[in-house]
Amino acid sequence: MSTTLAHRGVRVLALGGVLAGLVALVAHDGPINGARGVAVLTAAALLVGPLARTVNPVRLAGTPPRDPAHDDPAPGWPAVAVLALLAIVVLTVHDGRVLALVGAADLTVQAVLCRSRGQGWPATGDGLEAVATLIGHAAPLGMCDDGRLAWRNPVVNAAHVTLPLAALWLAAVVIGLAVASTSSAPAVPVFVAAASTAGVLLQVGLIRSWFYGAAVPLAAAYGLLAGGRWLEPVDLLTFVALHAMAIAVLHRQAIARHDPRTARAVQFPARTVVVLSVVAGLAILAPT
């Protein structure tokens, strides 16, 4: 009971923070880059990944209240659709009042769906919670089966998390948002090449499902990039480090299933996508 009350308390505080943010958007005079919100959400998920689900104010509407650790953390297709819609909005709308209205509408709709479909809905249908949970798999702070917080190896956790195909599309939305929001012409053709290559390799089955964990650090790398440059050159080092983590995830999964020679061969297609991804990102980060 005490845990449930604590969760409700932090969600009430989070709701107050969200409402204050919406009011600040309305009061803001001038254009707003909504993609920076994705960068902030990504940073928070990387620092305290599992807490993103605990503090989600949408869960206040669910009954009966329960620990989100018991929900399925895998994102669903509704979450992909919601995140894609929000991405289009932040890319095309820079008026604070409109963004606040969209944010309030999303919060209301998600609360209604959580109320009608149960506490498991936000994990699969709330785009913001889903992407925070996905990126949170790369956080050094994790949640044990008994609900306790503990330190963990992010590479091991990302390598062994079970993700559906929808998680790849969720990561693709974040990556596309980052590329589009930076308007970096040199990165666009490389991004298109990486996306096309990944699509073909997935379609023909050359990227195995156990490699999907590599999408976690890739989503984190581009999520931080969505808001533009920050604290140079730390942003560059972080971007490259997260891609190195993606390579480590691929290697760990491959070597666990095959001999070294076969492991190098089976992970080569996925590594190709990661290399193209880091080249595209470096083109974005390069000074204009």
pLDDT bucket at 48, cuts 50 / 70 / 90: confident
Ranked by mean pLDDT, the top range of 50-59, 180-189, 214-223 is 214-223
Do both 164 and 139 map to the same domain?
no
Of 69 and 281, the one with more pLDDT? 281
Single residue among 131, 155, 179 that ends a domain in this structure:
155
Do both 187 and 144 map to the same domain?
no
Mean pLDDT of the chain: 87
Domain hosting residue 36, numbered range: 2-61+70-155
Lowest mean pLDDT among 60-69, 101-110, 176-185, 204-213: 60-69
Do both 188 and 114 map to the same domain?
no
Distance CA 93, CA 71 (A): 34
pLDDT in tens, 109-161: 999 999 998 888 998 999 999 999 999 999 998 876 666 778 889 999 999 89
Query: Quick one: tokens of 217?
Result: 């650090």
How far from chain centre, in Å, is Cα 105?
21
176-186 mean pLDDT: 76
Which amino acid is located at 189 in the chain?
P
pLDDT > 90? residue 98: yes
Say how many domains are in the chain: 2
Do both 77 and 139 map to the same domain?
yes
CA dist 213 to 159, 163, 205, 216, 239, Å?
A: 5, 7, 16, 6, 17
Single residue among 102, 120, 155 that ends a domain in this structure:
155
Number of helices (H), then strands (E), belonging to the chain: the values are 13, 2
Of 201 and 88, the one with more pLDDT? 88
Distance CA 75, CA 174 (A): 14
- Picking from 53, 246, 36, 69, the residue whose alpha carbon sits closest to that of residue 136 is 53
Do both 143 and 165 map to the same domain?
no
Q: Pairing state of beta strands 141-143 and 149-151?
A: antiparallel
Q: What is the pTM of this model?
A: 0.91
Single residue among 130, 155, 180 that ends a domain in this structure:
155
Do both 9 and 128 map to the same domain?
yes
- Whole-number percent of the chain with pLDDT over 90: 56
Residue 75 in contact with residue 124, Cβ under 8 Å? yes
Do both 264 and 129 map to the same domain?
no
The reported pLDDT for the residue numbered 237 is 93
Do both 174 and 278 map to the same domain?
yes
Do both 212 and 144 map to the same domain?
no
